[in-house]
Every structure is written in structure tokens, then in C-alpha cells.
């Protein structure tokens, strides 16, 4: 399976191939002011072909492990302007959560634009008045709008759909508010069909010590719904079509720490190990206690 990623290094955007290890140098290819997503139309929408062309045409640089602090990873295919990315997802998709009497399409929600995506190590923020916040280990599908604006599948990654599940439990109509928390995302874009089976473990640390851990199962086989039908139904709406727009779609999770009776708090660190795919990442949780200035009434 081919894996690609993008990062900032020496004030330039670069492309890398493969899942890097901590011990080996990074081999990076400068994108000369562009992005991999922007290069996709010339490659027929194929990120693998675009990456191959970029790596042929540009001289690589090597970053030693000691210099990794100069590298900042980016969400996969993040456009130059975060407003050109839409982060969304589906809820109540997994067999363990769905009863017999369910609609033919799960509820869809919006988390935000590209700036709500946080790569490993960056804090995931929630409002100061969050009721009960939980992690959700998920597969994330990545699409890019073609020249007509139709979203085309590029690959998948993994993420943490942080959710104020307590707010949703208080009022089911407040799902849209519950989902407006930051989203964790792995930088690695896997150029393959959506995975059928994904397994792993979540560990939540508090004050430097493990406070809760639990396993998870996700992927297409764990869904109550047909994944291609879900995506086809969503992208039938012209409102989400725009050339070059990057879509990050979280496809849902099974049980979380909340369902086990655990409550996260400010400063906890959530580590997700997607063991079946060799991907692990961590994020600290941050309750935002300084509200933004009141915008006042509309003019």
C-alpha cells in the first residue's frame, strides 16, 4: 500500500512517501509553493501518479532524526487555504450502536473547515462549557473535487472525532453543537480503498499515567450501512461540490471511553493505536476557557 504525506520544512511545503520511522531520516521533496491536492488534476485525480511525478521532477532533501523538530506534519491533502476544506462525518453508523428500526442513511454533521484538523501532538480544543467529551477512533475518507466540483476519492487516513457527547445526550437536536470540537487526524494518506477491518486500542493518560484504556473495531465491515451508498448519497448534493475542495469524512466509531463510564478532562492525553494499520498518534485535550469577544447583535 502506498502512503503519502505533506509537511512544512524550512518554510516550504514538502511531500514524503511511506510511513516514516523515528529512527530513519525523512526523504522529502519540495512542492515549490504548491500542494499535492493541487497537482491531482494533471494526474487524472490519482494522488499516487501525482506523487510519482513530483518525486521524479524534484531533488529530495534528507532530514535526520535529530532535525525532526524542524518538520511540521500537515493533514493529508490539506489545501493552501483551510477554507477550501470541509470536515464532516456520520454518526450512529456501527452495528454495535444501531438498532433494528433505523433510517436508510445515517445522520451527517459538519465539524468545520480545514483549520479544525489537528495533527499528532497538537491539542484538541473544546468549549469551556462542554458537558462530557469523548474520543472516537475512526477511519477518515479523503475526497477532492474534480474540475466539475464532483468529489473524487483520493485515499483514507485515521482520526479522532472528538465529541461533546454529553451535550448530545442532553438534547439530541444539539448534535451539530456536540460535533464542533477539533478533530485529530493522522498525516498519512493511504492510497487504497477504504479498509474493511481496522482494530486498535485507545489509551487516555492523566497526569502522566494511564487512566483508561479500551479496544475498538471499525472499518467498512463494522458498519450497519453500505459505505459506498452512504458516500454516494452525501455527494449527490450539489451544495458540497466545488472544484479543488478537499473533503475529510469521518465514518463513525464504535464504543468510546464515555460508554465505559469514564469522563475525560482538561489536560488528558488521548493516544490511538490503529494496530492493524501501523498508525499511532496522540493529542492532549484542551478546554478553551477564554471566550472570544462577543460579536454583538447583527447590524
Does the pLDDT of residue 299 top 60, yes or no? no
pLDDT in tens, 272-287: 999 999 999 999 999 9
The model's confidence at residue 102, banded by pLDDT at 50, 70 and 90, is confident
Residue 271: closest CA among 213, 203, 215? 203
Torsion 113-118-123-124 (CA) sign: positive
Does the pLDDT of residue 293 top 80, yes or no? no
pLDDT in tens, 17-28: 999 998 999 999
The domains located in the chain, with CATH, are: 2-73 (no CATH), 82-288 (3.90.850.10)
Predicted confidence at residue 289, as pLDDT, reads 78
Taking the CB of residue 250, how many other CB atoms lie within 10 A of it?
26
Q: What is the Cα–Cα distance from 94 to 85, expressed in whole angstroms?
A: 26
Residue 78: closest CA among 48, 44, 122, 116? 116
The model's confidence at residue 295, banded by pLDDT at 50, 70 and 90, is low
> For residue 65, what is its C-alpha cell?
532524526
Predicted confidence at residue 97, as pLDDT, reads 85
The model's confidence at residue 155, banded by pLDDT at 50, 70 and 90, is very high
- Rg (Cα) of the chain, in Å, rounded? 19
Q: What are phi and psi of 144, to 5 degrees?
A: -130, 130
> For residue 255, what is its C-alpha cell?
464504543
pLDDT in tens, 118-127: 999 999 999 9
Predicted confidence at residue 142, as pLDDT, reads 98
Reduced to 3 states, what is the DSSP secondary structure of residue 208? coil
Reduced to 3 states, what is the DSSP secondary structure of residue 183? strand
Predicted confidence at residue 206, as pLDDT, reads 97
Percent of the chain residues topping a pLDDT of 90 = 90
> For residue 256, what is its C-alpha cell?
468510546
Q: What are phi and psi of 156, to 5 degrees?
A: -135, 160
Stated as kind and residue range, the H or E segment containing 175 is helix 175-178
Reduced to 3 states, what is the DSSP secondary structure of residue 210? strand
Q: Which residues contact 248 (CB under 8 A, 6 or more apart)?
A: 75, 85, 86, 87, 88, 114, 117, 140, 141, 142, 159, 183, 185
pLDDT in tens, 229-239: 999 999 999 99
Q: What is the Cα–Cα distance from 156 to 175, expressed in whole angstroms?
A: 25
How many helices and strands (H and E) does the chain possess?
5, 20
The model's confidence at residue 75, banded by pLDDT at 50, 70 and 90, is very high
Does the pLDDT of residue 297 top 80, yes or no? no
DSSP string, 157-204: EEEEE-EEHHHHHH-GGGHHHHT-S-EEE-SPEEESSPPS-EEEEEEE
Predicted confidence at residue 113, as pLDDT, reads 98
Predicted confidence at residue 22, as pLDDT, reads 87
Q: What is the Cα–Cα distance from 63 to 181, expressed in whole angstroms?
A: 33
Predicted confidence at residue 238, as pLDDT, reads 96
Predicted confidence at residue 67, as pLDDT, reads 95
Angle, alpha carbons 83-85-90 (nearest 5°):
130
The model's confidence at residue 296, banded by pLDDT at 50, 70 and 90, is low
Predicted confidence at residue 2, as pLDDT, reads 92
Q: What is the Cα–Cα distance from 80 to 93, expressed in whole angstroms?
A: 32
The pairing of strands 183-185 and 117-118 is parallel
- Total residue length of the chain: 299
Contacts of 18-26 with C-beta under 8 Å, sequence gap 24+, read 19/188, 19/278, 19/279, 22/65, 22/68, 23/65, 24/65, 25/62, 25/63, 25/64, 25/65, 26/62, 26/63, 26/68, 26/71
Residue 139: closest CA among 160, 120, 158? 158
The model's confidence at residue 240, banded by pLDDT at 50, 70 and 90, is very high
Predicted confidence at residue 294, as pLDDT, reads 65
Mean pLDDT (whole number) for 188-217: 97
Amino acid at each position: 500500500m502506498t502512503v503519502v504525506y505533506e509537511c512544512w520544512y524550512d518554510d516550504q511545503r514538502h511531500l514524503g512517501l511511506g510511513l516514516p520511522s523515528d529512527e530513519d531520516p525523512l526523504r522529502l521533496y519540495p512542492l515549490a509553493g504548491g500542494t499535492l491536492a493541487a497537482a491531482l488534476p494533471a494526474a487524472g485525480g490519482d494522488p499516487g501518479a501525482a506523487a510519482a511525478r513530483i518525486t521524479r521532477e524534484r531533488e529530495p532533501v534528507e532530514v535526520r532524526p535529530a532535525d525532526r523538530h524542524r518538520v511540521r506534519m500537515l493533514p493529508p491533502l490539506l489545501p493552501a487555504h483551510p477554507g477550501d476544506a470541509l470536515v464532516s462525518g456520520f454518526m450512529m453508523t456501527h452495528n454495535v450502536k444501531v438498532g433494528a428500526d433505523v433510517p436508510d442513511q445515517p445522520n451527517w454533521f459538519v465539524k468545520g473547515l480545514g483549520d479544525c484538523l489537528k495533527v499528532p501532538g497538537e491539542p484538541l480544543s473544546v468549549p469551556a462549557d462542554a458537558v462530557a467529551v469523548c474520543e472516537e477512533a475512526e477511519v477518515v475518507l479523503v475526497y477532492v473535487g474534480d474540475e466539475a466540483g464532483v468529489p473524487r476519492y483520493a485515499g483514507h487516513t485515521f482520526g479522532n472525532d472528538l465529541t461533546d457527547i454529553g451535550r448530545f445526550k442532553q438534547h439530541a437536536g444539539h448534535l451539530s453543537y456536540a460535533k464542533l470540537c477539533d478533530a485529530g487526524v493522522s498525516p498519512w494518506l493511504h492510497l487504497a480503498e477504504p479498509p474493511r477491518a481496522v482494530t486498535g486500542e485507545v489509551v487516555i493518560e492523566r497526569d502522566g499515567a494511564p487512566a483508561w484504556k479500551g479496544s475498538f473495531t471499525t472499518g467498512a465491515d463494522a458498519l450497519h450501512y453500505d459505505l459506498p451508498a452512504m458516500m454516494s448519497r452525501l455527494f449527490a448534493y450539489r451544495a458540497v461540490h466545488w472544484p479543488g475542495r478537499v473533503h475529510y469524512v469521518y465514518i463513525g466509531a464504535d464504543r468510546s471511553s464515555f460508554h465505559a463510564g469514564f469522563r475525560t478532562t482538561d489536560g488528558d492525553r488521548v493516544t490511538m493505536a490503529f494496530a492493524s494499520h501501523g498508525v499511532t498518534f496522540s493529542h492532549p485535550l484542551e478546554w478553551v476557557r477564554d471566550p472570544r469577544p462577543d460579536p454583538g447583535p447583527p447590524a
